[in-house]
Amino acid sequence: MSDRTADCQIDVVLFDVGGVLLTNGWDHHERAAVYDHFGLTAAEKAEIEQRHPAPYDAWERDAISPDAYLDEVVFFVPRRFTREAFTARMREASQPITDSARRTLEELAASKQVRVGLLNNESRLLHAYRMEAFGLGELVQYQFSSCYLGLRKPEAAIYRRTLDILGREGRRVMFIDDRAENVAAAQDAGMEAVQFTGESALRAVLAEKGLL
């Protein structure tokens, strides 16, 4: 570890995924696009959305399987499409975003001045796909996903658990997330947290901290 990193006292940088590196995994925009692809009616969409929240919370915590989520939310009635086709389209909804932090993540990973990782809410099915399809798993040392920890942002426990596993004080960990409530919760846990509004702004913050 260089003197530069020691001086700024940050030796781990954690990135959210959806909204920072990629589109969200299964947020309302992604769900709407998949519903439209399969030609669901307004009434069908409304019923699915009404059923979605509780099973999705459990699915992101890995408390239920993908099939259990789909049975409860989508396939509680016969559909004109298959479960396999729907799942494939769920995966395909993930795409890079235009102004992402990908270049910054790659630069930090290559520099070896800090350790880098992910702290995100994601189901196991979509997290695994996104790590492989977009090469994120090859860049990071840590993957603190809700599906592995059984906890979700912005719950205080997920930040405490992350710090416990890292074995570091919060002041030595920077967390980058696009959602204000997740940033505030990380700050409450003692982390150095930054709201992502674009890569140039993020790079300015990291440069000020001596990390770039």
First to last CA, the chain: 14
Sheet holding 115-120, edge to edge: 142-145, 115-120, 12-15, 173-177, 192-195
Asked whether 99 and 198 are in contact (CB, 8 A), the reply is yes
Task: Please tell me the predicted confidence (pLDDT) of residue 112.
Answer: 87
Amino acid (1-letter code) at residue 207: A
The secondary element (H helix, E strand) that includes residue 192 is strand 192-195
* 176: β partners: 15, 194
Cis, peptide link before residue 154, omega less than 30° from 0: yes
Asked whether 8 and 206 are in contact (CB, 8 A), the reply is no
Domain 28-92, CATH number (from 3.30.360.10, 1.10.150.240, 3.40.140.10, 3.30.300.30)? 1.10.150.240
Tens-level pLDDT at each residue, the chain (212 residues) = 444 444 558 999 999 999 999 999 999 999 999 999 999 999 999 999 999 999 999 999 999 999 999 999 999 999 999 999 999 999 999 999 999 999 999 999 999 899 999 999 999 999 999 999 999 999 999 999 999 999 999 999 999 999 999 999 999 999 999 999 999 999 999 999 999 999 999 999 999 999 99
Cβ within 8 Å of residue 54, ≥6 positions away: none
DSSP assignment string, 123-142:
-HHHHHHHHHHTT-TTT-SE
DSSP H helices in the chain: 3-8, 28-37, 42-51, 53-60, 66-73, 83-92, 102-111, 124-133, 146-149, 156-166, 180-188, 199-208
Task: Please tell me the predicted confidence (pLDDT) of residue 8.
Answer: 55
Q: Which residue has the tokens 């702004």?
A: 201
Q: Residues 6-31, buried b or exposed e (16+ Cβ, 10 A)?
A: eebebbbbbbbbbbbbbbbbbeeebb
Name the pTM for this structure. 0.93
Domain 3-24+96-208, CATH number (from 3.10.330.10, 3.40.980.10, 3.40.50.1000, 3.40.30.10)? 3.40.50.1000
Task: Please tell me the predicted confidence (pLDDT) of residue 99.
Answer: 96
* 15: β partners: 118, 176
Q: What percent of the chain has pLDDT over 70?
A: 96
Domain boundaries, the chain: 3-24+96-208, 28-92
